[in-house]
Amino acid sequence: MSAELMRERYEIQGGNFDTAGEISGEIKIILRDLGIDAASLRRVVVVAFEAEMNLVMYARRGTLTFILTDEEVNLEILDEGPGIPDLELAFQEGYTTATDEMRELGFGFGMGLPNMKRNSDELKIETEVGKGTSVFARIRLDAHE
């Protein structure tokens, strides 16, 4: 078990498109300032950003917790929202339940969850319809690509 070096918890308000994505931008600055290698940094922030956008688009509210160890970053995104009725379908590239408003923002083309999976070393999603969704992503910090 590697030692925890940093833990930050951010509150996210659903429906607030104006600030959506800001937290992932902050995480990018933290990781860059720590000198984390570019490929790992990119993977972490893509997962964080897609998760943050999903939360803002679909949920009422939630939190994103960022946990840094000397070996990996763990992201925990917990929301109070509609949940995902069919997870397998949601992971299919191109499948979407997005509204026109979400598409006008440039999201909701059915690539968010696939992007998160592609950039995580481990991705676990727990969801309950009508209650919410929890996303746990682990991204190793040793060189990728």
Partner 1 sequence: MKLHDIGDILQCEVLTEGDDLAVDVQYVVASDGMSEILAFAKSKELMITGLTNVQAIRTADIAGVSAVIFCRGKRPDARVIEVAKKKRIPVLVTKMVMFDICAILYNKGLKGVS
Using CB under 8 A, count the residues that bind partner 1.
24
Q: Which is nearer to partner 1, 78 or 102 (CB)?
A: 102
Smallest distance from the beta carbon of 78 to partner 1, in angstroms? Answer: 21
Binding mask 33-72 for partner 1 (x = CB under 8 A): -----x---x--xx--xx--x-------------------
Q: What are the strands of the beta sheet with 4-13, ordered from one edge?
A: 4-13, 61-69, 72-80, 132-140, 122-128
Binding site for partner 1 (CB under 8 A): 17-18, 20-22, 24-25, 28, 38, 42, 45-46, 49-50, 53, 105-107, 109, 111-112, 114-115, 118
